[in-house]
Amino acid sequence: MTDVPNQQPQPEIVDDSDFVRVRFAGGRFDSHTIPFDVLPDLAAYRDLVVEVAKHLFRERNSDRQRVPKGFEESFQLGLSQVIQGNSATALAQRLETLEDQPAVDAQAGLGFPRYGEFEDARDLLDRVIAAANDDQPLPPEFPRELVGKFNRFGQSLRAGEHAELSHGRTAPVRYDSETRKRIVLSANATYENALDQRFTLTGGEIRSYIVHLADEDGTRFDLRVDSDEECEKAIARRRHQVRVVGAGLFDRQDRLTKITKYKELIYTDDEPQQALEDRLGEIARTPAGWYSGQNPAPDPSAITRMGELVALITTDAGVPMPYVYPLPDGSITGEWTRGDWEISAMVTLPYLAIELHALNVETDEELDVDIAQFDEHTLSAFSQFWNGMDSDTGGQ
């Protein structure tokens, strides 16, 4: 368990030359590595330090409206080491500047003076974070207009994950999503956070690449997608469920108010809302001759078998509900669309064997499995078929 702040820095990572140590813990960090997803957070921290340092410089040099040329460039953070322990720790050092180097070696550095405002900015940020953790007002010397800059820092941290910031021999300050939320909301009505939420597609405007969505409360949102193909696909799937992965603005009650960024629109929940028994009832009431005047009514045994199959795979294998249709010869088919895969499970006559077929419409990859009997092996046979699609990007 790593979800405990380190009150004492690990001996091996105490190094006064580190500008900051960031120890990540909990969740994904229990695997002792730092996912690439988190790297933008470190860049956001650097940007935050720069903005605060600029503010401090202007405060201390009231005769100057701007920071000196090269001020920002003089502060470069490099990831000097990643330490695996009971968590994952990133050590960041200031890269060498002119004053740090022997004269003969001056060209190797950045060639800028070393400003102390960056260390002061780091210390002020520590105090801001500590105040937020204690539910106290932010330090008055922290500029309110920079509060929003915390939106980007720590956005990739998920529930149960946190970072601890320290340097030298200072006690670490804990930083997590709740800290970030408190800081940003101290001066704003909303804060930005990662978004991974289900919506219902309600339409869109192809010309402007806008997709209309509604959440489970019926609140409407607009999402700008990257291409007319993506937009067209979303419009064609009106009323279907999608997962939006990206970022959004949330209010104090953590209600989404706006989608600000999207990485993925995932059609994972492309399944009917109608209860299976209702759909099977509709099919059972379909009379003979429904297709060509000569064809039989849907076979009652095939309907029952389809019900058994769907109950088994949705309950025990987590497979989404299929769309179910009768076929002209009296057999029944269930269908799914899963990414680029078009999938069917047909209960055939007269022996009620189950034909499973899947086609990746982009790659032409095909899966074809016959289940002759419905017995204790049916679930594993179906699961093997279904999981066979996961090796491809079409599966989700």
- Quick one: 134 or 364, whose CB is closer to other proteins? 364
Closest approach of other proteins to the CB of residue 315, in Å? 21
Residue from 47, 325, 349, 395 binding other proteins (CB under 8 A): 325
Q: Give the contacts of 189 (CB within 8 A, at least 6 positions apart).
A: 251, 252
Q: Give the contacts of 390 (CB within 8 A, at least 6 positions apart).
A: none
Contact characters 160-199, other proteins, x per CB under 8 A: ----------------------------------------
Residue from 111, 272, 296, 320 binding other proteins (CB under 8 A): 272
120 binds other proteins (CB under 8 A): no
267 binds other proteins (CB under 8 A): no
203 binds other proteins (CB under 8 A): yes
List the interface residues with other proteins, window 326-385 (CB under 8 A): 326-329, 333, 335, 337, 342, 344, 357, 359, 361, 366
Residue from 80, 93, 186, 286 binding other proteins (CB under 8 A): 286
Size of the site for other proteins (CB under 8 A): 39
Closest approach of other proteins to the CB of residue 292, in Å? 6
274 binds other proteins (CB under 8 A): yes
290 binds other proteins (CB under 8 A): yes
Residue from 324, 345, 352, 389 binding other proteins (CB under 8 A): 324
307 binds other proteins (CB under 8 A): no
Q: Which one, of 189, 160, 164, lies nearest residue 177 by Cα?
A: 160
- Quick one: 39 or 361, whose CB is closer to other proteins? 361
Closest approach of other proteins to the CB of residue 380, in Å? 24
Closest approach of other proteins to the CB of residue 257, in Å? 21
Secondary structure string (H, E, C) spanning the chain: CCCCCCCCCCHHHCCCCEEEEEEEECHHHHHCCCCHHHHHHHHHHHHHHHHHHHHHHHHHCCCCCCCCCCCCCCCCEEEEEEEECCCEEEEEEECCCHHHCCHHHHHHCCCCCCCCHHHHHHHHHHHHHHHHHCCCCCCCCCCHHHHHHHHCCCCCCCCCCEEEEECCCCCCEEECHHHHHHHHHCCCCCEEEEEEEEEEEEEEEHHHCEEEEECCCCCEEEEECCCHHHHHHHHHCCCCEEEEEEEEEECCCCCEEEEEEEEEEECCCCCCCCCHHHHHHHHHCCCCCCCCCCCCCCCHHHHHHHHHHHHHHHHHCCCCCCEEEECCCCCEEEEEEECCEEEEEEECCCCCCEEEEEEECCCCCEEEEEECCCCCCHHHHHHHHHHCCCCCCCCC
Stretch that binds other proteins, among 109-117, 158-166, 291-299, 374-382 (CB under 8 A): 291-299
Strand partners, 359: 342, 366
288 binds other proteins (CB under 8 A): no
236 binds other proteins (CB under 8 A): yes
Closest approach of other proteins to the CB of residue 114, in Å? 57
Stretch that binds other proteins, among 63-71, 174-182, 191-199, 271-279 (CB under 8 A): 271-279
388 binds other proteins (CB under 8 A): no
Residues that bind other proteins (CB under 8 A): 202-205, 212, 232-233, 235-239, 272-274, 279, 282-283, 286, 290-292, 294, 323-329, 333, 335, 337, 342, 344, 357, 359, 361, 366
